[in-house]
Amino acid sequence: MASHPQPDGAPSIGLRTPQDLWRYVDRFSANLPARPVNLVKRPPGQTDVVLITGTTGGFGCDALEHLLRDETVQLVYAFNRKDSHALERQRKQFAARGLDSSLLDTSKFRMVEAVLHEPGFGIDAEVLEEIRTSVTHIILNAWTVNFNRPITSFEEDIQGVRNSMDLALSSPFTNAPAVIFVGSITVFCNWKMAGPVPEIPIDDPASSFGMGYAESKWVSERILQNVALERGAHTVVVRVGQIEGDRMGHWNEREWFPSLVKSALFQKCLPKQDKTVAWVPSYEAARALVEMRHSLDPIIHLVHPRPVPWDTIMVPIARELNVPLVPYTAWLSALEGSIASERGSTKEVQAMRLNRALRLLPLFKDHCKKMERMPERDAIGFVFLGMDKAMRVSKSLASLPQLDGERAMLWLAAWRKSGFLSLQE
């Protein structure tokens, strides 16, 4: 799984102003199909039939387990990349994430290898018809999680959203399946106003402008809104915040926070800051997402309802790694200074390979700037988010225990086990 940094406004390639993002919204909302004539009511007492995309990744894998455990769910279709040995990869992910692989052997689970951006998803017509005439919820989770690409490289992801909307609209039932989109709080990466921000549509594309990934999520939010408005379909955008480790405590080493922690081995210090974190463990976030499929509200936020101070996790980590906590700017200077004299050399490349935090210098500098300019932000520079609607629909999120030092120790244990916390990697 990947984290959600927020660069500071460099325009995406090929786009001049935030308003240009509306062109994407218009293009992918054009010519929506009409609902079929002669719609019929769903059979009484029908239990849920859920289509979910991208379950071979981290968050989707955890969501799949919750769906398979849910007694109100009758059948789950998992749409994953075609010709990718999806089932095999799914089993590996279940095992790695501490999930119950036997659930994949039940008749409740169907793996479907699909091409999300192709009409008809490139799947067997009979299977598609079976899905069209049974599905009650479509959870759009698959996405290219890459923060460095321009919006042009997300067109297939957005087309996948549109194709799924077309599938929902083609349902023979009066109640078309609800479409739940896994959005991202990065749509607030350039949000200038004070929080907490309510769970409502964002009308100004400037809020997400400058980061292709965030822009693609904002565009998709607006497509869902258009479909709801024009065709009366029920859509739910879940704006997901920072997700941390899996059930075993393992937090993907490629992300920004694990890299920051690993820098302690090189810089011999870690940063302190007077901020909070609202991160949610992946398994619990996935449970909340699965509950949120029942939301009647079209937009909800999925972050931790009770943030904790940065120190709650960082003090025990620093103690365990036997390094002092220093002001953020001091840590940043130490990090930057460590390669100052190596620019362009093979030593720089080598240093970046071992100390991944060096590759994320622009992101950490951006955090620093945001901290100085916008004191009313969390530890990664995000505005605080309203969660009233989310907590109404997700009981598990409403009662989620706060993050604590014990959880942080689980991250460390998992990184030690994987060999990440070593100078050799």
Ligand X SMILES: NC(=O)c1ccc[n+]([C@@H]2O[C@H](COP(=O)([O-])OP(=O)(O)OC[C@H]3O[C@@H](n4cnc5c(N)ncnc54)[C@H](OP(=O)(O)O)[C@@H]3O)[C@@H](O)[C@H]2O)c1
The residues binding ligand X (CB under 6 A) are: 1-4, 54, 56-60, 80-81, 84, 116, 141-145, 156, 182, 184, 240, 242-243
Contact 136/233 with Cβ under 8 angstroms?
no
For the record, the structure tokens of 398 come out as 């409403």
Closest to ligand X by CB, 209 vs 279, is: 279
Question: Please, what is the minimum distance in Å from the beta carbon of residue 124 to ligand X?
Answer: 17
Smallest distance from the beta carbon of 244 to ligand X, in angstroms?
A: 8
Q: Which residue is nearest to ligand X (CB)?
A: 57
Can you tell me the distance from the alpha carbon of 30 to that of 21, in angstroms, rounded to the nearest whole number?
A: 15
Nearest CB to ligand X, comparing residues 144 and 225: 144
Least spacing, CB of residue 143 vs ligand X, in Å: 3
- CB closer to ligand X out of 52 and 269: 52
Cα distance between residue 108 and residue 85, in whole Å: 20
User: Is the sign of the CA dihedral 207, 209, 213, 219 positive or negative?
Assistant: positive
**Measured between alpha carbons, how far is 243 from 225 in angstroms, rounded to an integer?**
25
In the complex, what is the shortest distance from the CB of residue 186 to ligand X, in angstroms, rounded to a whole number?
7
| The residue to which tokens 């988010």 are assigned | 385
- Which is it for the CA torsion 173, 176, 178, 179, positive or negative? positive
Going along 156-261, which residue ranges are E strands? 178-184, 235-240
Q: In whole angstroms, how close is the CB of 2 to ligand X at the nearest point?
A: 5
**Is the Cβ of residue 140 or residue 318 nearer to ligand X in the bound state?**
140
Taking the least distance from each CB to ligand X, the nearer of 144 and 338 is: 144
Comparing CB distances to ligand X, the nearer of 172 and 386 is: 386
226 versus 242: smaller Cβ distance to ligand X: 242
Cβ–Cβ under 8 Å, residues 153 and 212: yes
Nearest distance from residue 31's CB to ligand X, in Å? 23
Q: How far is the CB of 184 from ligand X (least distance, A)?
A: 4
Coil, helix or strand for 257?
Answer: helix
Give the whole-angstrom CA distance, residue 35 versus residue 234.
13
CA 323 from chain centre, in angstroms, equals: 31
Q: What angle do CA 374, 302, 18 make, to 5 degrees?
A: 55
Helix (H) or strand (E) holding 399: none
